[in-house]
Structure 1
Amino acid sequence: MKAIVYTEYGSPDVLELKELEKPVPKENEVLIKVHAVSANAGDWHLLRGTPFLLRFVYGILKPKNQVLGSDVAGRVEAVGSSVTQFQVGDEVFGDLSGYGFGGYAEYVCAHENTFAPKPDNVSFEEAAAIPAAAVTALQGLRDKGHIQKGQKVLINGASGGVGTFAVQIAKSFGAEVTGVCSTGKMDLVRSIGADHVIDYTQEDFTRNKERYDLILAANGYHPILDYKRALSSKGTYVMTGGSNAQMFQAMLLGPWISMLGSKKMGNLLVRPNQKDLVFLKGLVEAGKINPVIDRRYPLREVPEAIRYLEEGHARGKVVITVE
């Protein structure tokens, strides 16, 4: 099979299209013929080995897993002897990040619990756009943010992969949603259901008079005390992405701020799981969320896809089609 491989940390230039042996499923695994895989920020972090702490998990001097790619959609080609949930021919989607990655390839094996049935009303490309970004948005809003109907929710980075799902998921919970993005992406954010849109190049939402019950920071940067100022008296701030400074402030200062006052602030540790994929499948099939895809690339152009994603200007998701 063909796969995009890297044997050293570096820029997208170290990625190579190579022939690898087609994997064989273990007793509790399914073999997936990959039809599409989406690119995530985690791909270029793992590719470059940054921040350095990642290397203690994924390889100090060189990567343990040589094929990146977590979000896949495809058909079951073979099943292990103990598999009970799927059979050959089933259309599935899933997140491989907890099972060694490997999505940038024509075939991949993973535990059956890694996958869920693909939503019937979307393509393989759209299904591949869902797992990591949508689960991050869902867990940030529902599990960490405890979103409630009628709350005022702000999504910073509303036009990106996580942000476009967060806007739609927050609306599905009955929230009043404000999306923050750049000038050229305001129409997109309105089109996916945001009640209000703020152009961050013209207005700093942390300095106006509006206060929010829940802020999900999916991108961009503001000091954590600025986010605190923008919260209502018992509001919650959840960091799911953005700059390294934003991440470390949420991890180190967030717990202290939470203990000393009524506002809750912290970061989200995403836990991929089948149950949330099934929940999101239901939202997609009900028409409550629709994946937003910016660009599509063939497998051989994964380096270009990651290079584009790393620039930070994608509208929604970047997807790789596997012929």
Structure 2
Amino acid sequence: MTKMKAVLCRAYGKPEVLQVTELDKPIPKEDELLVKIHATAVTASDCVIRGLNPPGGHKFPMKQLMKFGMRLFMGFSKPRNPILGLVFSGRIEATNKNIEILKEGDEVFGFTGISRGTYAEYKCVSAKEISSGEVFLKPKNASHADAAAVVYGGTLALHFMKNAAIKKGQKVLIYGASGAIGTAAIQIAKHHGAIVTAVCSERNFDLMASLGSTLMIDYTNKDARNELEEYDFILDAVGKNKTSDLKDACKNSLSPNGNYVSVDDGFLKIEPDYLPKLKASFEAGQLRAIIDRTYPLEDIVNAHEYVEKGHKKGNVVIHV
């Protein structure tokens, strides 16, 4: 049996629970195709799953109930699927008769959702997952690293901004603008003609401006709340685990008919049009990948440690 490299999460805990090992290369079933993964990324969601740390800033007893719910859903002592990883870019190595949309040799990118499994050299993808929108042809002008980088933030930004109906000239504020979701959200809002304000650290101001932000607010500035205006849409791209006086002030800066959305509001449901939209936007030059660091698969522990510090710019990509 041919072997492949993979990273296993053998228990919930700190990044050290992740172990690089060799497993049997998967064999696709009749309704599956086999993807040779070239790149994945370490996302905030990966760290949540690995550390069994539910998002949302919940306190006792709600946090304990949330952890219990996560164990019920994912596995009690460790994830039922020990191979983590939500996003990927790669090439289809084999298909079977029930796969009609994609073919062998196609370069694809994807967001695997509950099946996870992208911290590995190979992954099988089912016809159902393809039809639900979890896999699509990658942008032609994107490297595998770029494609893996845009999936997580781009998909979540599309999902949480889809009801915003952003119009030209409206004011949009992105709180936590320098992360994977924030960097994608700025570009999406700018494409719709919005006047974007980015909340981040001062060291990221140049990056925010290059993505299309008109104004930047340094969240470490004690007088930052005085720089707030009135906004038609506010996206909290860091989630409710992180709170501050400035974030509370942002909530009070909405226009009368404004909309405030946190990435912890509800669960992501991937829609069939998300990846095609990301592909079209990337190919048109309306969206670019922001990659902070890259690591080899063998260095997954250090990659998780870096992401968990919470200061990455855009994405951390893993070369497989």
- The 5 Å alignment of 1:196-235 reads 196-202=215-221, 206-208=225-227, 210-219=229-238, 220-222=242-244, 226-235=249-258
Q: Which residue of 2 aligns with 1:149?
A: 168
Match of residue 119, structure 1, among 139, 151, 170: 139
Identity of matched residues, %: 42
Structure 1 window deviating more from structure 2 (204-213 vs 293-302): it is 204-213
The answer as to 2:106 corresponding to 1:108 is no
> CA offsets, 1:226-247, max 9 Å, x none?
333110111000001xxxxxx5
Amino acid at match of 1:21: D
- Number of matched pairs: 295
TM-score, with normalisation over the residues of structure 2? 0.88
TM-score, with normalisation over the residues of structure 1? 0.87
| Structure 1 unmatched ranges of 5 or more | 241-246, 248-266
CA distance in 2, matches of 1:10, 1:137: 28
Contact kept? 1:76, 1:88, Cα under 8 Å? yes
The answer as to 2:83 corresponding to 1:83 is no
CA distance in 1, matches of 2:259, 2:223: 19
Match of residue 156, structure 2, among 127, 136, 159: 136
The answer as to 2:70 corresponding to 1:54 is yes
CA distance in 2, matches of 1:17, 1:204: 46
Q: Which residue of 1 aligns with 2:38?
A: 35
Q: Which residue of 1 aligns with 2:48?
A: 45
Structure 1 window deviating more from structure 2 (204-213 vs 151-160): it is 204-213
Match of residue 80, structure 2, among 55, 64, 67: 64
Quickly say closer, same or farther: Cα 1:63–1:6, change in 2 above 3 A. same
CA distance in 2, matches of 1:176, 1:269: 28
Structure 1 window deviating more from structure 2 (86-95 vs 200-209): it is 200-209
CA distance in 1, matches of 2:165, 2:159: 9
Please state whether the residue corresponding to 1:20 is helix, strand or coil: strand
Quickly say closer, same or farther: Cα 1:268–1:83, change in 2 above 3 A. same
Match of residue 298, structure 1, among 292, 296, 299: 296
> CA offsets, 1:260-292, max 9 Å, x none?
xxxxxxx24321233210011000000001010
User: RMSD of the alignment, in Å?
Assistant: 1.6
Contact kept? 2:150, 2:288, Cα under 8 Å? no
CA distance in 2, matches of 1:158, 1:289: 15
Q: What is the CA-CA distance between 1:204 and the residue it aligns to?
A: 5.5
Quickly say closer, same or farther: Cα 1:235–1:155, change in 2 above 3 A. same
Which runs of at least 4 in structure 1 moved beyond 6 Å after TM superposition? none
Please state whether the residue corresponding to 2:125 is helix, strand or coil: strand
Q: Which residue of 1 aligns with 2:59?
A: none
Contact kept? 1:71, 1:130, Cα under 8 Å? no
> CA offsets, 1:177-199, max 9 Å, x none?
11110011111111111111111
Match of residue 3, structure 1, among 6, 29, 33: 6
Q: What is the CA-CA distance between 1:211 and the residue it aligns to?
A: 0.7
> CA offsets, 1:55-110, max 9 Å, x none?
22111222111000111000000112200011111000000123x11100000011
Q: Which residue of 2 aligns with 1:167?
A: 186
